[in-house]
Amino acid sequence: MNILILGSGGREHTLAHQISKSPNCGALFVAPGNAGTLSCATNLDVDILNFEEVGQCILANDIQLLVVGPEAPLVEGIKDYFEDKPEFSTLKIIGPSKQGALLEGSKERAKEFMKAHQVPTAAYQSFNKHNLDAGKSFLAKMQAPFVLKADGLAGGKGVLILDDLKAAQDELENMLTNQKFGKASEKVVVEEFLDGIELSVFVLTDGKNYLTLPNAKDYKRIGEGDTGLNTGGMGAISPVPFADQAFMEKVDQKIVKPSIDGLHKENIDFTGFLFIGLMKVGDEPFVVEYNVRMGDPETEVVIPRIKNDLLDILNKTANGNIQDITLDVDTQHAATVMLVSGGYPEAYEKEKVISGLDAIQNSNDIFVCHAGTKLKNDQVVTNGGRVIAVTGFGNHFQSALEKAYTQIETIDFDNMYFRKDLGKDLV
């Protein structure tokens, strides 16, 4: 079958790499893709938010399976767009409907959904500019630190955690009346601070049944020791050492099952990945957020640990036969380290030549994946903040990390930066 993956990051390169290994993979396309996806697929120069253009590609290349990588096209309703059109009646899509995607597209909706289905999460209230004063009083009754979340998509920047009450009240006003995060902060969720350790759980669902994929922990901050600005993710490990079987059973019963049952009860078309960000507080899991796609860089450590044919898994999911899959997960640990452009997550330069990639052989120990690259005059150059994800595999996350760090010594570009302390918090 012919497949089209939408996106251009490490997530999409990893998905393309794994799908391309399937005996049932026909022509594989990535739109727009990167220099790495060229090694296993054909890149298509398409604006993934222009659904008409995506549709033309699907028809021209006889695509049977569309895998949507990032959240934006899902929140914009790409699934609904194709489902309404008879010429796409046989197209299968991995990704939820617009209504399903609201679990990521609106923090308020996500909280209401959790409340309705008794999924443990931080206590909250949401506010708009008309009840700003009530929001300030609500904050005054809470204890520091104060958590403010812009309701809509804000590129991972819409959450503020503040220690000072006055600062929190001022920021709430700034978000609601000055639209600090544009339309995304027309509404703001104010919630209780959860004091614990974070991890992520990934579920593949057809909206009724589900498969829980390997879990992962990512490193969000730019600086060593988890300091500095938030990024899309500076690295990740899988499995998570502090998520033992008893805890994961709790996650299944208290979080995953009620979430999927909730989708089913509400009759929401949700065929795809549900990424559940969790806080482990003591021994109890609480949901911090839902995402309606795989994480990046979590994909780089989660997907390679799945030994099944990925295309077969996605096909069965799209056909509503997820119950026929028995997941075969590698006991090997995976750890990925992201190489980023100097300056990221603020301003950074692009088009720096990347050296050392040609000599690398992906193996059972190493997978080097492109996150933000392109080809220019036959050279691979940087094309984003996050540039390359180097994943190592080993019997323990420490040996997996060692392999990644050793491989990194062979790669270079101007102003390359990466965190050297991954995993140290877990020892």
Residue ranges binding ligand GLY (CB under 6 A): 218, 232-233, 291, 295-296, 298
Choice between 136 and 370, CB closer to ligand GLY: 370
- Residue 291: contacted member of ligand GLY, ligand AMP, none (CB under 5 to 8 Å, by partner type): ligand GLY
For residue 262, the partner it binds in ligand GLY, ligand AMP, none, with Cβ less than 5 to 8 A by kind, is none
Query: Distance from first CA to last CA of the chain, Å, rounded?
Result: 45
Nearer to ligand GLY among residue 239 and residue 295 (C-beta): 295
Calculate Rg over the CA atoms of the chain: 21
Amino acid at 193: F
By a kind-dependent CB cut-off of 5 to 8 A, residue 233 interacts, out of ligand AMP, ligand GLY, none, with ligand GLY
Question: Which of the choices ligand GLY, ligand AMP, none does residue 296 contact, using the CB cut-off of 5 to 8 A by kind?
Answer: ligand GLY
Smallest distance, ligand AMP to C-beta of residue 163, A: 12
Handedness of CA 74, 77, 78, 84 (dihedral sign): positive
Query: Least CB distance from residue 295 to ligand GLY, whole Å?
Result: 3
Place of tokens 């020791």: 225
Query: Measured from the CB of residue 222, what is the shortest distance to ligand AMP in angstroms?
Result: 14
Q: Between 233 and 392, whose beta carbon lies closer to ligand GLY? A: 233
Could you tell which of ligand AMP, ligand GLY, none binds residue 12, using a CB distance below 5 to 8 A set by kind? none
92 contact choice in ligand GLY, ligand AMP, none (CB below 5 to 8 Å, kind-dependent)? none
Query: Helices 107-116 and 257-265 meet at what angle, rounded to 10?
Result: 100
Considering the complex, state which of residue 127 and residue 202 has its C-beta at the smaller distance from ligand GLY.
202
Cβ closer to ligand AMP: 220 or 254?
Answer: 220
3-state DSSP call for residue 39? helix
Nearer to ligand AMP, 161 or 375 (CB): 161
Interface residues with ligand AMP (CB under 6 A) are: 122, 147, 149, 159, 161, 191, 193-194, 198, 220, 277, 288-289
- Measured in whole angstroms, the distance separating CA 393 from the mean position of its chain's CA atoms is 21
Smallest distance, ligand GLY to C-beta of residue 233, A: 3
**Binding partner of residue 147 among ligand AMP, ligand GLY, none, CB cut-off 5 to 8 Å per kind:** ligand AMP
Q: How far is the CB of 200 from ligand AMP (least distance, A)?
A: 9
Least distance (Å) between residue 34 CB and ligand GLY: 16
Residue number, 57 or 222, with CB nearest to ligand AMP: 222
CA distance 272 to 95: 4
Tell me the CB-side half-sphere exposure of residue 319, using CA atoms within 13 A: 11
In the three-class reduction of DSSP (H, G, I as helix; E, B as strand; rest coil), residue 139 is classed as: helix
| CA dist., res. 295 & res. 292, Å (int) | 9
Give the residue with the Cβ less far from ligand GLY, 151 or 296.
296
Q: Which is nearer to ligand AMP, 161 or 229 (CB)?
A: 161
Question: Is the CB of residue 402 less than 8 Å from the CB of residue 424?
Answer: no
Distance in Å, CB of 52 to ligand AMP, minimum = 31
Q: What share of the chain is helix, strand, coil (3-state, %, to 5)?
A: 35, 30, 40
What gap in Å lies between CA 340 and CA 348, rounded to an integer? 9
Select from ligand GLY, ligand AMP, none the partner in contact with residue 188, using the beta carbon and a kind-dependent cut-off of 5 to 8 Å: none
Q: For residue 65, which of 263, 317, 305 has the smallest C-alpha distance?
A: 317
List C-alpha distances in Å: 384 to 340, 346, 371, 374: 8, 11, 8, 9
Q: How far is the CB of 216 from ligand GLY (least distance, A)?
A: 9
| CA–CA distance, 314 with 294 (Å, rounded to integer) | 13
CA gap 314, 19 in Å, rounded: 9
Give the DSSP H/E element, type plus range, for residue 398: helix 397-408
Q: What is the dihedral of CA 322, 49, 259, 92, to 10 degrees?
A: -20
Min separation Cβ 406 and ligand GLY, Å: 24
Residue 77 sits at φ, ψ, to 5 deg, of 90, 35
Toward ligand AMP, which CB reaches closer, 30 or 237? Answer: 237
User: Smallest gap, in angstroms, from Cβ of residue 237 to ligand GLY?
Assistant: 12
Q: Which does 191 bind (CB under 5 to 8 A by kind): ligand GLY, ligand AMP, none?
A: ligand AMP
CA distance 320 to 53: 28
